[in-house]
Structure 1
Amino acid sequence: MWAYAIVVFVVLLLGLFLGEWRPSRKKEILFLCLSSVVLIVFSALRATNVGIDYYQFYVPFFENVRSGGWSFLVSDANPYLTEFGFSLLTFLISLVTGNVFVYMAVIATIMIGLTAWVLYRDCSKPWIGMFIFVAFNFFGNTLSYIRQSLGIAIFLFAIHYIKEKRIVPYMLLVLLAATFHNSLLLMLPVYFLAQIAINRISLGVYGGMTILVLVFSWQIFNLVTQFVYQYYATDQNLYFMQGRDFMTGFIPVLAMVLMIAFQKLLLKKNPRNVVLVNIAMYAGIFFIFTWKHFLFQRIGNIFFTAAILYVPELLTALQATGTEEEKQRRFLAGKGSWRNYGYVYGIIAMIILGLIYYFWFIQQNRINLLPFYTVFDEIQVSALRVQATTTTFLNTLVQTFG
């Protein structure tokens, strides 16, 4: 646990120092560089036991690609044949190294580097976005859900083009993201849906659809699995249809409520923020579904990761506008005091809730983030195993031949 505590507090303290104290664009760049290095090094140095999918899926896959080469890549033996972007990336890395830790370091650099780029380009407060990336456990997901995390990083990069109403680059980026994880194909219609105005009619439609899905979820599941994703209907994978506890969906649903409640403020700041309000709403809806069926969380995570963009946008919208003289005059007149302090209160609430959510998630250990071991621990354990095996072999020889 101590390793994760160090990471989140380093990012938080760097953010407060470089992002809030005399902020500047240069300081934002410095913060993003420093925090990215911290996260990449942390990810690269973890042992293969950290992240439930790491040793179970990605270590053998990398070894198979390394030994089988291109023929394995294009064969039916490749479990990620339909996610060829990930397969190709693994193949290219395997041409340079056979070390799985270097492989994971390169992938971590791509995921975190692309996230930092998105924060620099699109986030109104990059330090808040990076803190949320860690505290809301999106970084933790990159330690296990590697393919989907790569796809999500590309999707985050593509959100900019929804706001710009540039359909071609958005669609191309989503199709690219889907070559890393097929679930990203669900983001194709988001280009159109995310531009719908949030009003009583649209909220009524979304609310009605949410109720219908909750009521008829098993019927929908049985219908869908007759044609696709049949493996979810097996006894082994039916645990995906179990519900998650309240805490799992609390933060995404709270963020949805706040984004809708303050949408007028957000749209006044930037009319294109309707995209972020919609995405926050989709995240909240899918996490409401998650309370009944865990399966929906994998989709909800795609939308919820965009919180690195929409939560900072909400917090900066709470800041009072105008010159310092105007702010002071309004404050002395007793007008808009909540706006003067809204940002500060929002930051404090975000930090407290973020840290609670972060340590709760780590402690749940749903994706084997604990215990945390480093590559050096794993090398030492491997050396001890070799030593023990050698000793046993020599003792057997001595006993056999006297």
Structure 2
Amino acid sequence: MYIYLLILAFAMAGALFLPHKTAKSTIYLACWMIGLAFFVGISDMLGGFDRYIYGEMFDEVADIRRSGQNPLTAFIFEQYPTELGYAYLNILLSYITANRYIFIFIVTLIIYVLYYVNIRRYSEDYKVALLLFFGLLFFFTFTYLRQMIGVGIAGLSFKFIYERKLWKFVIVVLIAASFHNSALILLPVYFIPIKKYSMGAIMVLMILCLLVGVSGVSSSLFEAYSSTSGLEERTTQYIEDTSGFRVAYLLEAVFFLWLILGNYSSIGKDKQQIALLNVALTFCATLLLFIRSENGGRLGWFFIMALVATLTTIFSQSYKNILNRTLVFFVVFFLYIRIVFIWGIRISPYKTFFTNGVRTGDIIYEKYEYDPNYALDKFYR
């Protein structure tokens, strides 16, 4: 656990004590993203079930290809028939390695390259962007490999919104959807007029989203969409247990709305800033729309890069606003620590795949390990 606290402490120290002129230091950002990519990529099946299923499917693809058979017959094409980008990435990487650890490491590098490009392209303060990344996405890069690639690719489409290049936007979103179909939720944002709406109009919209979310209508519509798109099983995972009310979604949406609207004048008339602002507000709307969904909040991940960009714009305009910065530090710390404690054995104690064996008490390994040989020799394949 302590290694995770130390990483966050270093990031906070950088945001606090490094001079403001380093806010857009590409060296600072690159060093962090490279370091995090290696930290996550070399970890030994941390994060939970998803790594095991991705590893098992990749192993099968590699075995089929090495035996001279047609890799298109692999189970991955049955499991993800509409997410062929990810399936073909498996085939491509099987020419490099047959080992699940090397596969996961390369995929993690791809994820962090995408996030580096997104943060560099849209953010005004890389130090603050990095902190927000820690609170909102960092731990999910351990396990949700497909969706994290999709989120990274989808973020590249934002520039085509304010540049008004519809087909380029659609193509990038479709590529993201080929890794995780839920990226299609981004398609409507292109048609949001690039204008700065009044705070009153925004609040009315958010209240409507909350009412729709509480009613359960949004989950029903999402389920109806799945029945025509072949995503019934995936959708069931997103909308399961709709009887509850996700207080965490409400608090997160309210906090970011308050932060954005409380500093609304910091957002100028620049088309890029306004387009990213509207996408960021869509993140809050998505949390409210799926406030009764167990996993629906994951749909909001596709808007997070715009949220990060908008908040860094605000802080770059009000760098000396101590209250805002303190609140963001507190919320990031809370979101980060919450996952550290909730995930528990899934990420702690930290272990790399450079040493053989299994972590003591690793119940995820005991439940989902499909090839015990990896415990004896991590590089036996």
TM exceeding 0.5: yes
SS state at 1:47 partner: coil
Q: How many pairs were matched up?
A: 358
Matches within 5 A, 1:9-24: 9-18=9-18, 20=19, 22-23=21-22
Which residue of 52, 61, 66 corresponds with 1:65? 61
Contact 1:240 1:294 in 2 (8 A): yes
1:365 aligned counterpart, secondary structure: helix
Corresponding residue for residue 140 of structure 2: 141
| Structure 1 equivalent of residue 367 of structure 2 | none
The question of whether the paired residues in 2 share the 8 Å contact of 1:85 and 1:180 is answered with yes
CA 1:216/1:367 → structure 2, altered by over 3 Å: closer, same or farther?
Answer: farther
Give the Å deviation of 1:205: 4.6
1:373 is aligned to 351
**Cα distance in structure 2, aligned partners of 1:187 and 1:15:** 31
The yes-or-no answer on 1:29 pairing with 2:31 is no
**What is the deviation of 1:275?**
1.8
Instruction: Give the drift of 1:147.
Output: 0.6
Q: CA RMSD in A?
A: 3.1
Structure 1 counterpart of 2:273: 273
**What SS class does the counterpart of residue 195 from structure 1 fall into?**
coil
Q: Note the C-alpha offset of 1:165.
A: 2.2
Listed one character per residue, the Cα deviations across residues 34-75 of structure 1 (whole Å, up to 9, x for unaligned) are: 1012201111221114333111x1110110110123723366
Change (3 A) 1:11 1:91: farther
Cα distance change on mapping 1:193 and 1:100 into 2, 3 Å = same
**Structure 2 residue aligned with 1:117:** 117
> Structure 1, residues 321-362: CA drift from partner, whole Å, max 9, x if none?
xxxxxxxxxxxxxxxxxxxx32x3322221122112210122
Give the residue type in structure 2 aligned to 1:295: N
Counterpart of 2:170?
171
Deviations 1:168-211 (A, max 9, x none): 32222111111111111121121112635423456535533542
Aligned residue type for 1:166:
K
Equivalent position of 2:207 in the other structure: 207
Q: After TM superposition, give the deviation of residue 155 of structure 1 in Å.
A: 1.4
Bigger mean CA offset, 82-91 vs 253-262 = 253-262
CA distance in 2, matches of 1:293, 1:247: 11
Cα distance in 1, alignment partners of residues 295 and 308 from structure 2: 23
Are residues 159 and 142 of structure 1, via their aligned partners in 2, closer, same or farther at CA, if it must alter by over 3 Å? same
| Deviation of 1:263 (Å) | 2.7
Alpha-carbon distance in 2 for matches of 1:295, 1:386 = 35
* Counterpart position of 1:301: 301
**Map of 1:131 onto structure 2:** 131
Q: Mapping of 1:3-402 within 5 angstroms?
A: 3-18=3-18, 20=19, 22-23=21-22, 28-55=25-52, 57-69=53-65, 71-73=70-72, 78=77, 79-136=79-136, 138-193=137-192, 195=194, 197-199=196-198, 200-201=200-201, 203-205=203-205, 207-217=207-217, 219-220=220-221, 223-224=224-225, 226-228=227-229, 229-231=231-233, 239-241=240-242, 243=244, 245-268=246-269, 270-319=270-319, 341-342=320-321, 344-365=322-343, 368-379=346-357
Per the normalisation by structure 1, the TM-score is: 0.78
CA apart distance, 1:281 = 1.9
Q: Distance in 1 between matches of 2:49 and 2:376?
A: 25
Deviation at 1:22, TM superposition (A): 4.5
Cα distance in structure 2, aligned partners of 1:173 and 1:237 = 23
- Give the letter for the 1:260 counterpart: L
Distance 1:61 1:263 in 2: 47
Q: Distance in 2 between matches of 1:21 and 1:153?
A: 27
| Residues 261-292 of structure 1: per-residue CA shift (max 9 Å, x gap) | 43333135x35422222222221122224432
Q: Which amino acid aligns with 2:135?
A: A
Partner of 1:392: none
Q: Secondary structure at the match of 1:189?
A: helix
- Verify the 8 A CA contact 2:159 2:272 in the aligned structure 1: no
CA 1:73–1:313 in structure 2 vs 1: closer, same or farther (change >3 Å)?
Answer: farther
Q: Distance in 2 between matches of 1:290 and 1:158?
A: 24
Alignment-mate amino acid for residue 352 of structure 2 = T
How does the TM-score come out when normalised to structure 2? 0.82
Bigger radius of gyration among the two = 1
Shift of 1:212: 3.0
SS across alignment from 2:47: coil
Give distance in 1, aligned partners of 2:191 and 2:33.
32
8 A contact 2:244–2:293 mirrored in 1: yes
Unaligned runs of 5+ in 2: 360-371
Deviations along 1:108-158, whole A, 9 cap, x unmatched? 11111121122222210012111211122x011111111111011111122
Does structure 2 retain, via aligned residues, the 8 Å contact 1:231–1:237? no
**5+ residue gaps in structure 1?**
320-340, 388-402
